[in-house]
Amino acid sequence: MALETLADAFYHELCDIYHAEKQLTKALPKMAKHATNPQLAEAFEMHLAETQEQVLRVEAAFADTGKAPKAKKCEAMAGLLEEATSVLEEDAEPGVLDALLICAAQKVEHYEIATYGTLCTWAQQLGYSEAKSLLDSIMAEEEAADAKITKLSRVINKQAKVRA
């Protein structure tokens, strides 16, 4: 893929986040299943439903580029999710496991927020108004999801023993 213009950069990153969101729909059910706090499990389930819908909105955002939707392997998300799911294989105390799952989830959200922030700015510059409004709506959901787990962490982190 030749990267000559900002439009090329936009398409490149959109292909990346499209793949990232798809990967996340596979990891969130595992995270929900292993979370011990029911509210945390519920937050992951809710974000799964949101993420499945975001995949469709990202797909729709391709229309402004005039190119077909394409998923390009997002190595960053693959790495973040590998870390998130490797925690599940550790022998962790329930409260500690939940604290680690929150940490992993927030890394994912911040990664997504960084990408959507850039894509929204570029969409504006490129005059991709439909893509801009779709991506703005996803960005708002990611920020809300991040804020929600921050709030949950204030209660859940207290379930973990501070030290031996």
> Which residue number, 98 or 112, has a Cβ lying nearer to Fe ion?
112
Alpha helices in the chain (DSSP H): 6-34, 38-61, 75-86, 94-126, 129-156
Subset of 109-138 contacting Fe ion (CB under 5 A): 112
Is 162 in a helix, a strand, or coil? Answer: coil
Residues in Cβ contact with 113 at an 8 Å cutoff, skipping those fewer than 6 apart: 139, 142, 143, 146
Q: Does 54 help bind Fe ion (rule: CB under 5 A)?
A: yes
Identify which range of 4-12, 52-60, 95-103, 128-136 contacts Fe ion by CB under 5 A.
52-60
Q: What is the rounded CA–CA span in Å between residue 129 and residue 78?
A: 30
Least CB distance from residue 54 to Fe ion, whole Å? 5
Q: What is the rounded CA–CA span in Å between residue 90 and residue 83?
A: 11
> Which residue number, 53 or 83, has a Cβ lying nearer to Fe ion?
53
Least CB distance from residue 48 to Fe ion, whole Å? 10
> Which residue number, 16 or 112, has a Cβ lying nearer to Fe ion?
112
Q: Does 23 help bind Fe ion (rule: CB under 5 A)?
A: no
Binding-site ranges for Fe ion (CB under 5 A): 51, 54, 112
